[in-house]
Amino acid sequence: MGRNKKPSNNGTLDENTLVTVFSSTKGFAALAAAIAHSKGYFDYDEKVSSYWKEFGQNGKENITVRQLLNHQAGLSTIKDLPLNKICDFDTKNVVTELEKKEPDWEPGTRHGYHCWTIGWLISELIRRTDPKNRTLKEFFHDEIAKPLNAKFYIGLPDHIDDSRVSTIKGLGSVLDLFKNFRTFPRSLLLAFMNPQSLTSKSMVDSKNLLAHSNFNTREIRKIEFPSGNGIGLVRDMAKIYSEFANGGNNLKLKNETFEELMNNPQPTQLGFKDVVQTVDTAFQVGFFKPIETGSHYGSPKCFGHPGAGGSFCFADPENKVGFAYGMTKVGTYMFDDPREIALRNAFYECL
């Protein structure tokens, strides 16, 4: 099931309108990583530096692929990166800087949301291990979108006009989003307001180029930015997750990989405390997983990812369905937006 939530004051939108889903893009990047794993390109428990030599420096030598995907590598901050214009956020323009980064904590001892960096890291891991040396944008298209005849893009192609993409309303700066005390945990707000905190250093760039309003521009839509600029038909997002919910047979997903996606996340020394988001979250090989002390959507076997403003896409292997929600007006919840929950509950009532 997929739905584009349409505002009543915009009659130009229809079922073929493409929608930006912000951090829900990370789930599609993780699906691409799952396909690469299934093809034998890398092992989740092998060191990243075994596949990406330049990564293995400045304290990153022993980070495993699993730790990287589970947001445990300590590479979440972006204020230390030279991101001075929108094109700097394209994977190919930031990889060298990621190679030089030092972890902000001992990898594997805790986890913290790699809000903007995780997509770049997944992309380069795939490129380094893919025999065809494809970027994530290319790999996702060739191995997932094209076989499933699904319109979802990580970097909008030139042939798709902006008129086909919904303008997301209610967008301001990241600070505006975090000012809503009714919907965000106080601990997160306090951390966000502290410029020296991991939260601030990880979620806000120094030039404010990632102000949500910029995501309505072609400049940011067209680059490969796998942590936040995925655009597509919401029904096709659901179609993609439905394929994975049913074992990925059409994509030749191996059962070993499928089991990894469904597995329960494992806590670190700090349990499920997310040192960036300051609340409990859980990740498993790149996916945002349900837990009792955090978002507990679906069953423990579900895997997917939410996005800023309210979007959410996931696979439910127990019910063998995919679910996707994309909005055209930003909400102010970290996850479990009431609009999305209402649709999700109705969806499960239908099941």
* Structure token digits, residue 147: 């076989």
Tokens 């895997």 correspond to 303
- What pLDDT, on a 0 to 100 scale, did the predictor assign at position 179? 54
Whether 329 has a pLDDT exceeding 50, the answer reads yes
- Domain at 2-350, CATH class: alpha beta
Q: pLDDT tens, 127-176?
A: 999 999 999 999 999 999 999 999 999 999 999 999 999 999 885 555 55
Q: pLDDT tens, 227-256?
A: 999 999 999 999 999 999 999 999 999 999
The overall average pLDDT reported for the chain is: 92
Helix axes 255-262, 25-38, angle to 10 degrees: 150
| Amino acid identity, position 245 | A
**Residue 10: DSSP 8-state:** -
CB atoms within 10 A of CB 146: 10
Place 298 in a pLDDT band, splitting at 50, 70 and 90: confident
Whether 183 has a pLDDT exceeding 60, the answer reads yes
Domain ranges of the chain: 2-350
> Which residues, in sequence order, are CB contacts of 266 under 8 Å at separation 6+?
none
Sign of the Cα pseudo-torsion (220, 212, 164, 135, in order):
positive
- What pLDDT, on a 0 to 100 scale, did the predictor assign at position 170? 80
Best-predicted range by mean pLDDT among 69-78, 195-204, 329-338?
69-78
Whether 193 has a pLDDT exceeding 60, the answer reads yes
- What pLDDT, on a 0 to 100 scale, did the predictor assign at position 5? 46
Whether 74 has a pLDDT exceeding 70, the answer reads yes
- What pLDDT, on a 0 to 100 scale, did the predictor assign at position 11? 43
Place 6 in a pLDDT band, splitting at 50, 70 and 90: very low
Whether 258 has a pLDDT exceeding 60, the answer reads yes
Cα distances from 3 to residues 44, 52, 84, 182, in angstroms, run: 33, 38, 35, 26
| Amino acid identity, position 283 | F
Whether 303 has a pLDDT exceeding 60, the answer reads yes
Determine the average pLDDT of the residues in 187-209. Answer: 89
CB atoms within 10 A of CB 103: 19
Length of the chain: 351
CB atoms within 10 A of CB 136: 27
Whether 182 has a pLDDT exceeding 70, the answer reads no
DSSP E strands, the chain: 2-5, 19-20, 152-154, 230-232, 283-284, 287-288, 303-306, 312-316, 321-327
Q: 244 near 31, Cβ under 8 Å?
A: yes
